[in-house]
A and B are shown apart, each in its own frame.
Chain A
Amino acid sequence: MQVKYQVEGGDFTSAGYASSQVKKLLKQLNVAPKVIKNVVVALYEAEVNIVAHAYRGVIEVELDPQKITLVLEDEGPGIPNIDLAMQEGFSTASPAVREMGFGAGMGLPNIKRNVDDMQLESQVDKGTRLTLIKFFNA
């Protein structure tokens, strides 16, 4: 089953909508609470990343009985140095974004910790594509 969510850059008030909806779906599927938490924490971080850094994006959710696949594709500035972005504490978030409690630089490493597989592709000035996979009975 596939579900899609649109994400608007800069719209912090709506950040978290997709992760809340996905959480509801996973509860309906009887996925273990710990796994749900992992997925939701990862997706929420990734969703906020689009809101904080990109112009707009789409989240594609693919569910099958074994796993959830999340593809987050955005149009935005892209990430010039992925290795650097993966370091804990590294952040390019503006002071205004940090003021709202986001942008502590824990995002990408935290996402990686919570999923079984993470692929990050990015093109500067074009956008970023993040693919996350989490198995249900890991």
Chain B
Amino acid sequence: MNTQHMNHALKLDADKCIGCTHCIKVCPTEAIRVVNGKANVQAERCVDCGECVRACPYNAFYVDEDDWALKEQYKYRVALFPSVFIGQFARNHSQESIYGAILKLGFTHVYEVEQPIALLKEITKEYCADEEKTKPFISSYCPAVVRLIQLKFPSLTENIINIKAPHDLSANYIKRSLMNRGAKEDEIGIFYISPCVAKMAAVKNPIGEKQSIINGVLNMKEAYNRVMKVLETGEVEAVATDFMKRLTRDGVKWGLTTGESKHAKGKSMAIDGIHNVIKFLDRLENDEAPWLHFLEVRACDLSCAGGILLTGNRFLTDDRLRKRAQKFPAAGKVEDLQVTVDLDELRKKLYTDPIPPKPIMMLDTDMGRALEKLARARNIMCHLPGIDCGACGAPTCQALAEDMVQAKAKMSDCIFLQQTWQRQGKISAQKAFDNMENKWGKNRFMPDCNKKGAKNESL
């Protein structure tokens, strides 16, 4: 496999990518360009939302995970996953049998991320009671949105709640409680089964904290396949109601839309879907919702039920989870957790450093030069066709113009301009064709039946 490595957990299989430009159009930060006929993700602009993965007709993007065998070196092997994992399975598989199947895969403990949610609820409530802080409070739950804010809405970084995500809380909680029962710290391996690329990246490279407590990150799609395989053998013992004892209704629904916002004091809203989030944050920046106290923002449509590493239909997953939630009691007081761990010590571990802005929109750090570039880009736009065809490898004509003033692209990248120049006799047909091959690769435009919709589609 010809792999093009990128930062983040997202990878591109360059053999599968044909440079079709679907991904460059959906990227919310315009982070992707087609270079030499292949998608190229600019790591510093990527927010790990996974929109490109969804849009790719050729499954050219894939998501890296840690080796499943990594867990064998630990005595206590914890499978930690968000509740949405359970929501993927049809009703004929009980939660107890799914737990049983996970144990059969070689784990010794099974935990759902949302088990100690009462503590997170309480800490968030305390945090949001601070009148001094900038409002509205924006949840730090979805790492793709946190990064989106850093890059595209830097003025809103101070609104982000500096509290870690639920998986950090539960990992800390699990580690403490296992240690209280006699386990040594280095005997415990916590493996997080991730519903999306953003959480994978966040675990590997956490924003606003020094180091992650999680020992390995696994792909939920792979986990689903492995669990299904065990379930289909029919040899699974239903187990582990004991593991579920701290699970609550609020916990099961935490990763779904309104899971957080409905607990907020004061006026709250929940927005899901990254393009919806962008539109709303744009309004928020204009001060159009001064009454808003708490904002839940999630990159995926229907929140984590629509995570890109989930299998099945997001509406069914959401529905199953809401029904499942009814089986559990509401999250009560923190004391009800009946934990054996030192809560004050745990609490201290749950705050992050402030989230720094990382603006990507600027054309130059010097305002005078930025203004010059801006004026030049607008001038270039007069010459570009404005139909945003993507054939130059940039998502829009404007993005191409901005690339040009940054010296990352040239006028001849536009195929329409080339045609015009040819007609005007400014360049030869050969030169125009060479330009195109330089962009898209040699012999890229020879007939080829091995593509989607062509004669040999399946080959």
Is A bound to B?
Answer: yes
- The complex places the Cα of A37 from the Cα of B283 at a distance, in Å, of 11
| B122 interface residue per 8 A CB criterion | no
- The complex places the Cα of A80 from the Cα of B371 at a distance, in Å, of 39
The minimal Cβ–Cβ distance linking A114 to chain B, given in whole angstroms, is 9
| A31 interface residue per 8 A CB criterion | yes
- The complex places the Cα of A63 from the Cα of B287 at a distance, in Å, of 23
The minimal Cβ–Cβ distance linking A72 to chain B, given in whole angstroms, is 16
- The complex places the Cα of A31 from the Cα of B288 at a distance, in Å, of 21
- Are the C-beta atoms of A136 and B367 separated by less than 8 Å? yes
Of B296-304, B357-365, B418-426, the segment with at least 4 beta carbons within 8 Å of chain A is B357-365
| B375 interface residue per 8 A CB criterion | yes
Main SS at interface, chain A:
helix
A 1-54 contacts with B by CB, 8 A = 1, 3, 16, 19-20, 23-25, 27-31, 33-34, 36-37, 40-41, 44
- Are the C-beta atoms of A1 and B285 separated by less than 8 Å? no
- Are the C-beta atoms of A30 and B364 separated by less than 8 Å? yes
- Are the C-beta atoms of A29 and B374 separated by less than 8 Å? yes
- The complex places the Cα of A23 from the Cα of B364 at a distance, in Å, of 16
- Are the C-beta atoms of A28 and B378 separated by less than 8 Å? no
| A95 interface residue per 8 A CB criterion | no
| A64 interface residue per 8 A CB criterion | yes
Residues of B with C-beta under 8 A to A65:
367-368, 371
The minimal Cβ–Cβ distance linking B200 to chain A, given in whole angstroms, is 29
- Are the C-beta atoms of A44 and B367 separated by less than 8 Å? no
The minimal Cβ–Cβ distance linking A109 to chain B, given in whole angstroms, is 14
- Are the C-beta atoms of B370 and A19 separated by less than 8 Å? no
- Are the C-beta atoms of A30 and B285 separated by less than 8 Å? no
- Are the C-beta atoms of B375 and A30 separated by less than 8 Å? no
- The complex places the Cα of A62 from the Cα of B101 at a distance, in Å, of 65
Known: A28-B370, A30-B359, A44-B286. 20 other contacts (CB 8 A): A1-B375, A3-B378, A20-B282, A20-B286, A23-B282, A28-B374, A28-B402, A29-B367, A30-B362, A30-B364, A30-B367, A33-B357, A36-B155, A37-B155, A37-B286, A40-B285, A40-B286, A40-B287, A41-B287, A64-B371
The 3 A-B pairs of least Cβ separation, nearest first, read A33-B155, A30-B362, A27-B361
Question: Which B residues are closer than 8 A to A by beta carbons?
Answer: 154-155, 282-283, 285-288, 357, 359, 361-365, 367-368, 370-371, 374-375, 378, 402
A-B contact pairs, 16 of them (CB 8 A): A1-B371, A1-B375, A1-B378, A16-B283, A20-B286, A23-B282, A27-B359, A27-B361, A27-B362, A28-B374, A30-B364, A40-B287, A63-B371, A63-B374, A64-B371, A65-B371
